[in-house]
Amino acid sequence: MPSSRMRVVVTGATGFLGHHVLQRLALRDDVLPIAACRRPAALGHFRGEIIQGDLLDPDYREQLTRRADVICHTGTWAAFWGHAALERSHFYDPALDLLQRSRANGVGRFILASSVAIAKRPKGELVDDFAPTEHTGYWPHLDRLIDVDRQMQAQASGTQCVNLRLGHFVGAGNQRGMVPALVPRLRTRLVPWLAKGRSRLALVADSDLGEAFALASTAQGLDAYESFNICGAAFPTAREVFDFICEETGSPRPWFSVPYWAGYAFGWLMETLHPVLPGRAPFLTRSLVHVAEDWHCDTRYAARKLGYVAQKPWQTAIREALAELERQGFPWPELAQQP
């Protein structure tokens, strides 16, 4: 007899986010998780169905949408700076086509891994789940996320569209997040406080990310288009996070503070000078300043409609990430995926 379980396809299944989504889906009896990836060997202990292929291939995208009841699109090409052409060819165009094929092939729900940072930069108030979005003009990945979200709103008929506005990832295995980018830079003694470190950071731990997707895949009573802030239980200030990291690693704390406008100006300078400076990524980018803005998000809507309540403390997730980074010698991370 055919399985009555819901078929949930997870793109980018070997990535940090996709890995944790698969883990949480595998705990549910009502779900048949399906891993979509290029390298099945990297899936480790996953024993479910695997569809191997490349999201850049339209035939592969067609195959995925014909197999799925729900698609969790975590397979996103992303960079923290520049790479506008690659963001379009490797992320935006495939994501939009995957969405359109989902509608054409009767996929019930399309869930996008997005970011709380797509909202207009906050001015001290709680950031709402449906807060208006605003292109940055300097961070192509975030701007294309906004474009996909707007297409989801425009096309939310037949296929339910769910935009998960995720906080800043923390946890072991995350190679391009805030923590791996911050630690080696702190050691140079050149990192300042931004606005005295008072801004609150929307951190979210690995297992909580996975649970949010599992809940969004199976929740009943959702509208045709939904948007949810997915963050941790607490919103520590940048000063609290930096102090914790410095205490754990023995790194020096920032010695001075600059306003945000100065941080953005320095980020622009580093991006502009990058081709003539050593290193594979700029010391600072405007996107890194952007994620350090005050992202104090309202998460009550996700709790009410999805049943999402964050469980893992940010300190635990960061401590696990730091232990892994220490074993690697606190390397300077890539700020862009390899095409």
What are the extents of the domains in the chain?
Answer: 6-174+203-232+296-311
Digitized pLDDT (tens) for each residue of the chain, 339 residues in all: 345 899 999 999 999 999 999 999 999 999 999 999 999 988 888 888 999 999 999 999 999 999 999 999 998 888 888 899 999 999 999 999 999 999 999 999 999 999 999 998 767 678 999 999 999 999 999 999 999 999 999 987 789 999 999 999 999 988 878 899 889 899 888 899 999 999 999 999 999 999 999 999 999 999 999 999 999 999 999 999 999 999 999 999 999 999 999 999 999 999 999 888 777 788 999 999 999 999 999 999 999 999 999 999 999 999 999 999 999 888 887 777 766
Q: How far apart are CA 210 and CA 203, in angstroms?
A: 14
CB burial of 70-96 (b: ≥16 within 10 Å; e: otherwise) equals: bbbbbbbbbbbbbbeebbbebbbebbb
Which residue from 189, 185, 180 is spatially nearest to 333, judged by alpha carbons?
A: 180
CB burial of 136-145 (b: ≥16 within 10 Å; e: otherwise) equals: bebbbbbbbb
- Measured in residues, the chain has a length of 339
Answer yes or no: are the C-beta atoms of 3 and 67 closer than 8 Å.
no
Alpha-carbon radius of gyration of the chain: 19
Answer yes or no: are the C-beta atoms of 21 and 8 closer than 8 Å.
no
- What is the fold of 6-174+203-232+296-311? Rossmann fold (3.40.50)
Provide the Cα torsion 199, 200, 202, 204; round to 10°: 130
Q: How far apart are CA 268 and CA 192, in angstroms?
A: 16
How many beta carbons lie within 10 A of that of residue 272, not counting itself? 11
pLDDT at res. 219 = 96
